[in-house]
Amino acid sequence: MDLLTEPFGTSTLEWGALPLRIALGIVFAHSGWGKWSRGISGTGRWMESLGVPFPQLNARMVATLELAGGLLLIGGLFTHWVAIPLAANMVVATWAEKFKVGAPFQGSESAQGYELTIVLGLASAALVLLGAGTFSLDELLR
């Protein structure tokens, strides 16, 4: 074991996805729940202002994806598969914030940045590749 490159050994690698899954799951589930609880029609009107086609339908699909997908990530169920649409969702969100809203990369007191959507998208892509890890429902189904 090399203390510089593997300070905890290789046996901890299988647990690496757990904190990533839980953090992403909480953020996505909270975001999806927020869209529903604040009134999904408002999210649809915001999407309409950005020129999103079928804004009310897309608002409901995104909110459901984020809520259900976040809960699935927390439990580690279907992780590879649920992370794909979550990553795609964050690509669209980043594009909308950058090119439609004109948001800065880093947020400030007066504007939300799009750095969070980039992190969420790349972290979701990592879970597509990593999977759920050892402590997950996916592992129980194996």
Residue that the structure tokens 């194996």 belong to: 142
DSSP-derived secondary structure letter, 53: S
pLDDT, tens digit (0-9, with 9 covering 90-100), for 59-93: 999 999 999 999 999 999 999 999 999 999 999 99
What's the confidence (pLDDT) of residue 106?
84
Compute CA distances 19 → 24, 29, 123, whole Å: 8, 15, 11
Q: Could you state, in order of their start, the residue ranges of all structural domains in the chain?
A: 17-135
DSSP run (H or E) holding 23? helix 17-49
Residue at 60: amino acid letter: R
pTM of the model: 0.89
**What is the share, in percent, of the chain residues with pLDDT greater than 70?**
95
